Amino acid sequence: GMNTRLEKLKSDLDVIDEEIKGKKNLIEEAKSLIKKYTGQQDNVRNNREYNSLSKEIEFQELEIQLAEKHIKEFKAQIEQKKEVIDETKARLKERQEHLKHKQGELDEILSETEKEEQALIKKSEDYEKQIEERLIKAYKRIRSNVKNGLAIVPVERGASGGSFFTIPPQVQMEIASRKKIITDEHSGRILVDPELATEEREKMEKLFAKVK
């Protein structure tokens, strides 16, 4: 957004520069006409022609004054826009440095977690070989349909993780028995009891300790 704003401001400066050039050209043309009309006044045959030329000269002088006024206003606009450009550049530099710092932090985190991620992917591939294909497809379909990619969530405070919909006590007991796969009727996620979630989290941490 800041880069776009800078480009717009620079484009505005170019337009103003062209306007100033146009006004300067108008001033030169007006001066040339004044010189021409002044010379013609020396050869007029009557007062009517003289007065007519005087009015033309007066008009051109007013044109010069108006053009000079516009040039002054344009120059004030240029100074104002240059101040905004300087402020925007300073803010942009600050944001870029902040972004660079954050990118560095992200790269460090990604580097640290890359081994863990690869270990989990390998473990996932090993488990896939032991599970029915229809269940794997259902699991992947659930993952693709939820925002955070979590297809399996624990029951927390009587509701599925990340949801406000409560789960009936009878269903919670069935989940805790671990005899069959039960899904949340609202989100479609597979539900597990908190103890199982804790057990699996501990297994993952042991796995991560090995790959570090």
95-135 tens-digit pLDDT? 999 999 999 999 888 887 888 888 888 888 888 889 888 88
- pTM of the predicted structure, to 2 decimals: 0.50
- In one-letter notation, the amino acid at residue 154 is P
Tokens standing for residue 112: 């640290």
Residues 207 and 170 in one domain: yes
- In one-letter notation, the amino acid at residue 123 is K
Total domain count for the chain?
A: 2
Is the Cβ–Cβ distance between 155 and 161 less than 8 Å? yes
Q: Which residue has the higher pLDDT, 89 or 165?
A: 89
Is the Cβ–Cβ distance between 88 and 3 less than 8 Å? no
Q: Which residue has the higher pLDDT, 121 or 77?
A: 77
Beta carbons within 10 angstroms of residue 40's beta carbon = 15
**pLDDT band with cut points at 50, 70 and 90 for residue 148:** confident
Residues 83 and 141 in one domain: no
Looking at the predicted structure, is the pLDDT value of residue 183 above 80? Answer: yes
Is 14 domain-assigned?
Answer: yes
CA distance 37 to 42: 9
Query: Domain span at residue 172?
Result: 131-211
Residues 9 and 114 in one domain: yes
Residues 22 and 54 in one domain: yes
Mark which of 59, 93, 119 sits at the end of a domain: 119
β-bridge mates for residue 183, sequence order: 190
Looking at the predicted structure, is the pLDDT value of residue 186 above 90? Answer: no
pLDDT above 90: percentage of residues in the chain: 44
Chain-wide mean pLDDT for the chain? 89
Is 138 domain-assigned?
Answer: yes
pLDDT at 212: 64
Taking alpha carbons only, the member of 81, 59, 60 closest to residue 13 is 81
Is 124 domain-assigned?
Answer: no
